[in-house]
Amino acid sequence: MNSTIILETRSLNKRFGGVVAANNIDFAVRSGEFRCMIGPNGAGKSTLFAMLCGIQRADSGQIFIFGHDVTRMQAFRRVRLGVGLTFQTNRVFHELSVQENLTIPQASANLANNEAGLERLKFALDAFGIDPNDETKAVELTHNRLQWLEIAMVLAGYPTLILLDEPAAGMSSDETSKTATVLKHLNSTGLTIVVVEHDMAFVREVAQTVTILHQGQIFAEGSLTEITSNDEVRKIYLGKA
């Protein structure tokens, strides 16, 4: 693959007391990729996401996004570079309407990407069945619609790279499949997507490259076939003897 690296970490380290959450992580994602990150609980996936978007500061190492060294950059400035993030537990504005949830990100939208960004947003709203003028409070939505609303919120900022932390968590198989289909289409328009996910059915459906994290380290990386045929991976993650 010849496309440019748009997200890169170099020797990234993070400890919480005696727990090593990130241990010399060297990680790179190219423009247009759909990357899945998997690993057992406590492997450091969410911590890595938190460091990538600026919620957590790395103890050492460097993070580059679109070629900028963002290691010490505030979270909101990283977002303005064109990064979007959803959380493991969805964090839409529950007391605000669907419409407000979608208009708030637009004021800070990455205008350099507005044409493609707007198309992606329209597609996602349509595919998820979200009315952008809906005045229903978000708190009244079902779980899957909240998850979809959060993805739409992130797309409303016209990002070029999105980091999704378990976007299909708690969804039925149909909803998971729909989420995967929408994300695959968004990826086909050039949107780079990095996903942390436990649901292997989802991963199978979307992943081009899979990264396995284990004990704060990159344990393996490759196509899903390569990963699932790796005995060590089967042992630590898939639970096979």
Binding interface with another protein (CB under 8 A): 53, 55, 74-76, 79-80, 84-85, 87, 91-96, 100, 103-105, 107-110, 153-154, 157
Distance CA(105)–CA(92), nearest Å, equals 11
Q: Which of 130, 82, 88, 123 is nearest to 105 (CA)?
A: 82
- Give residue 131's identity as a one-letter amino acid code: D
Name residue, tokens 């990095």.
Answer: 194
Nearer to another protein, 150 or 197 (CB): 150
Nearer to another protein, 150 or 205 (CB): 150
CA angle 31, 5, 28 (to 5 degrees): 105
Nearer to another protein, 20 or 96 (CB): 96
Q: In angstroms, what is the minimal distance from the CB of 190 to another protein?
A: 20
Q: In angstroms, what is the minimal distance from the CB of 57 to another protein?
A: 12
Listed in sequence order, the residues at least 6 apart from 17 whose beta carbon sits closer than 8 Å to its beta carbon are: none
Q: In angstroms, what is the minimal distance from the CB of 116 to another protein?
A: 17
Q: Is 52 helix (H, G, I), strand (E, B) or coil?
A: helix
Q: In angstroms, what is the minimal distance from the CB of 175 to another protein?
A: 22
Q: Is 124 helix (H, G, I), strand (E, B) or coil?
A: helix
Distance CA(33)–CA(192), nearest Å, equals 5
Q: In angstroms, what is the minimal distance from the CB of 235 to another protein?
A: 36
Q: Are 211 and 37 in contact (CB under 8 A)?
A: yes
